[in-house]
Amino acid sequence: MIRICMVGTGYVGLVSGACMADFGHHVTCVDINAERIRGLERGEIPFYEPGLDRLVLKNVQEGRLFFTTSLAEAFKDASVVFIAVQTPMSGSGEADLQYVMKVGEQIGALLDGYKVIVTKSTVPVGTNRRLAEVISTHLKTPGTPFDMASNPEFLREGSSIDDFMRPDRVVIGTETERSEKLLRDIYRPLFLLDTPIVKTGIETAELIKYASNSFLAVKISFINEIARLAERVGADVFDVAKSMGLDKRIGPKFLHAGLGFGGSCLPKDTNAIVHIAQEAGSDMSIVRAAIGVNADLPGRALAKAESLTGGLQGRTVALLGLAFKPNTDDIRSAPSLDLVAGLKTRGCTVRVHDPAAAENFKLVHPDLVYCRSPYEACEGADLVVLVTEWNQYRQLDFAAIAAKAAGRAFLDCRNVYNRPHLEAHGFRYDCFGRAGQTSAPA
C-alpha cells in the first residue's frame, strides 16, 4: 500500500485517485474548491462518468479514499504526489500552466522529506524541468530531496474507469530507480494483466501524450477528408473506413467520419503541440492540417442542413445530442456549439435534447428550447439533426417523429442510419461521406 496525494479532483484526478484507491493504495484527493470537496464527501460526483459514483463510494467506505481542501494534510504522509490540475488552452493555443506552477510553489514550501512529484496533467515538453526549479526555489530547507516524474493518462471520457483498470499501456517517465520503483509499485495490480509499462525519460513521456492525442486527431481528420472526397467521387466512406481498418497496420478505431473531434483534450492538445513545435523551431504541419479539416465540419453540416430544408432561414431545427460524444455531459469544444451558433444566425428556433449535457449547455445557450425526450425535441421541427450518437438515438421511432415533426428532413452527422430506412418514413436524408446514401439535392 502506497500513500498517495492527488492534487486536483477534476476528471483526471478524481478518476485516477479512485482507481488507485481501488488498487489498494491510500489516496487523499485535494482540491481548492471547498464546495466540490464537501460534495465528494457526501458521494456527489461533480460530472457525469459512468460507474465513478460507485467506485468513489466503495473506496471511501472501505477507508482508502479521502478528500480534503488542505494540501498540507494530504501531502503530509504521502510518498507520491500526483499533480492533476487543469492546463487550459490559453488565447494563443498554448497550455496555460499557472495552476500547475502554483501547486509547485506550494509543494516546495511543504516538502520536508523525499517524495516523488508526478505530473498527470497534460503538460508541454519541458514542464517537469521548470516545475522542479519552481519547487527547488520554494523549498524551506534547501537541498530537501525529491524526484520528478511524468505519468500521462490516456483515459477517455465515458469509459475512463475501464481505461484505467485495463490500459493498453502505462507510461512512466522517471530519472531515478527510486522513483521508478514507486511508480511501478502503484501500478503493480496491472502486472497481472500483463499491461506493458513503458519506462522512458521525462521529456519522452511528456511528448508521448501529445503525440498520441495528435495522432488520433489526425486519424479522424484523415477519414473526414476522405469522406468529403467520397461524396464528390460517388464512393462510400463507411466501406472505405471498414476496409482500411481491416489492415492491421491501420486498425479500425478512430475512423468514423462525421462531425469530427471535440472535447477538452484533442482540440487542446493538437493546438498545444503546434505551439510546442513552433517554440522548438520545428513544425507540425500534419497536425495543423488536421485542425483545419476539423474546423470546417460544422460548416459542412450547416450547408447540408440548408440543402435538406431548401433554406434554413427561420426554420425550426431539432438537435439530438449536445455533448461532444456519448456518455459524457462535457460540451467543451463540442461541434453542437458551432451548429447552434450557425442556426441562431439564420434565425432558427432550436429545440434540443441530450441525456446528460443539457444543463451544461443551458449555461452557454439558455435561450434554446430544452426538451425531455428526443421526440419532444422533434415537435414542429422542419429538420432533425443527429449530433451525438448516444445509444438512445440509435433506434429512433421514425413513425413517432414523423407524427410530430413539421418537415421531413433528417441530417445524420454520425452516420448511424441510412437512406432507405429514412425514406421509408418519408424523410429526406443526408449523412457524411456516403454518396449513394444522400437524398439531398446535389
Position among 47, 99, 187, 254 found at the interface with ligand UGA (CB under 6 A)? 254
Q: How many residues bind ligand UGA (CB under 6 A)?
A: 21
Task: Pick the binder of ligand UGA from 26, 130, 138, 156 (CB under 6 A).
Answer: 156
Q: In degrees, to the nearest 5, what angle opens at C-alpha 238 toward C-alphas 232 and 243?
A: 110
> Which candidate, 411, 405, 403, 442, places its Cα nearest to that of 428?
411
Q: Rule CB under 6 A: is residue 263 a binding residue for ligand UGA?
A: yes
Q: How many angstroms separate the CA atoms of 339 and 297, rounded?
A: 10
Q: Decide: is 301 part of the binding site for ligand UGA (CB under 6 A).
A: no
Of 253-261, 355-363, 370-378, 432-440, the window that binds ligand UGA (rule: CB under 6 A) is 253-261
155 binds ligand UGA (CB under 6 A): yes
Say whether residue 146 binds ligand UGA (CB under 6 A): no
Closest of 210, 202, 214 to residue 126, by C-alpha? 202
User: Can residue 48 be called a binding residue for ligand UGA (CB under 6 A)?
Assistant: no
Cα angle 41, 122, 276; round to 5: 155
- Is 29 catalytic? The answer is no
**Distance between CA atoms of residues 117 and 104, nearest Å:** 9
Choose, from 265, 348, 371, 378, the residue flagged as catalytic.
Answer: 265
Cell of residue 45, nine digits: 460526483
Q: How far is the CB of 361 from ligand UGA (least distance, A)?
A: 15
Range 218-237, binding ligand UGA (CB under 6 A): 220
Measured CA to CA, the distance from residue 323 to residue 319 in angstroms comes to 11
Q: Which is nearer to ligand UGA, 25 or 325 (CB)?
A: 325
Among 17, 104, 167, 262, binds ligand UGA (CB under 6 A): 262
Q: Give 136 or 212: the residue with its C-beta nearer to ligand UGA.
A: 212
* Residue 14 found at the interface with ligand UGA (CB under 6 A): no
Stretch near ligand UGA under the rule CB under 6 A, chosen from 60-68, 90-98, 256-264, 306-314: 256-264
- The answer to whether 325 contacts ligand UGA (rule: CB under 6 A) is yes
Q: How far is the CB of 432 from ligand UGA (least distance, A)?
A: 10
Closest distance to ligand UGA from the beta carbon of 196 (Å)? 15
Q: How far is the CB of 121 from ligand UGA (least distance, A)?
A: 10
39 or 245, CB closer to ligand UGA? Answer: 245
Residue 324 near ligand UGA by CB under 6 A? yes
Look up residue 364 and give its three cell numbers: 452557454
- Candidates 216, 272, 312, 381: give the one binding ligand UGA (CB under 6 A): 216
Helix H, strand E, coil C: the string for 130-170 is: HHHHHHHHHCCCCCCCEEEEECCCCCCCCCHHHHHHCCCCE
Helix ranges restricted to H, 149-279: 160-165, 177-186, 202-233, 237-245, 266-279
Quick one: which of 153, 180, 329, 430 contacts ligand UGA (CB under 6 A)?
153
Rule CB under 6 A: which of 99-128 touch ligand UGA? 122
Q: For residues 401 and 185, give the distance between their C-alpha atoms in angstroms, rounded to a whole number.
A: 55
- Asked if 434 is part of the footprint of ligand UGA (rule: CB under 6 A), the reply reads no
On whether the CB atoms of residues 203 and 280 are closer than 8 A, the answer is no
At position 177, the amino acid (one-letter code) is E
* Identity of the residue, 4 or 293, whose beta carbon is nearer to ligand UGA in the bound complex: 293
For the sheet with 26-30, list strands across it.
65-68, 26-30, 3-7, 80-83, 115-119, 146-150, 170-173, 197-200
Instruction: Kindly tell me which residue out of 13, 104, 258, 321 binds ligand UGA, with binding defined by CB under 6 A.
Output: 258
**Stretch binding ligand UGA (CB under 6 A), from 60-68, 86-94, 213-221, 352-360:** 213-221
Closest to 86 (Cα-Cα) out of 141, 143, 154, 7: 7
Assess 266 for contact with ligand UGA (CB under 6 A).
yes
The answer to whether 348 touches 385, Cβ cutoff 8 Å, is no
Neighbours of 436 (CB within 10 A): 9
Local structure of 96: helix, strand or coil: coil
Catalytic residue set: 265
Binding site for ligand UGA (CB under 6 A): 122, 153-157, 213, 216, 220, 254-256, 258, 260-263, 265-266, 324-325
